[in-house]
Amino acid sequence: MNMWDTIDLGTATRRESELRDTFWATILEGGSSMYRRTGTPESALQIVRSLITGFETKPRVVLAL
């Protein structure tokens, strides 16, 4: 999820729940991950690290950017 630093936390948390429980439930149950990008380098690194680690136990991720 993107742009957490531009809206209030309550609104963002409600939207995250809606996405997790309704729109993305199937892909999350299938093993996808969901992260908050808060506009900080740390949050961006968390997302990148999730893509480049864990290949021993998960299928390889190929991105088309």
pLDDT tens for the chain, 65 residues long, are: 677 778 888 998 999 999 999 999 999 998 888 888 888 899 889 888 887 876 556 666 677 77
Residue 10's Cβ-side half-sphere holds a number of Cα atoms within 13 Å equal to: 0
Are 63 and 51 in contact by the 8 Å Cβ rule? The answer is yes
Angle 15-46-11 from CA coordinates, rounded to 5° = 15
Q: How does 13-25 read in b/e, with b if 16+ C-beta sit within 10 Å?
A: eeeeeeeeeeebe
Give Cα separations from 62 to 18, 24, 51, 55 (angstroms): 27, 20, 9, 11
Q: Dump pLDDT digits (tens) for 39-50.
A: 889 988 988 888
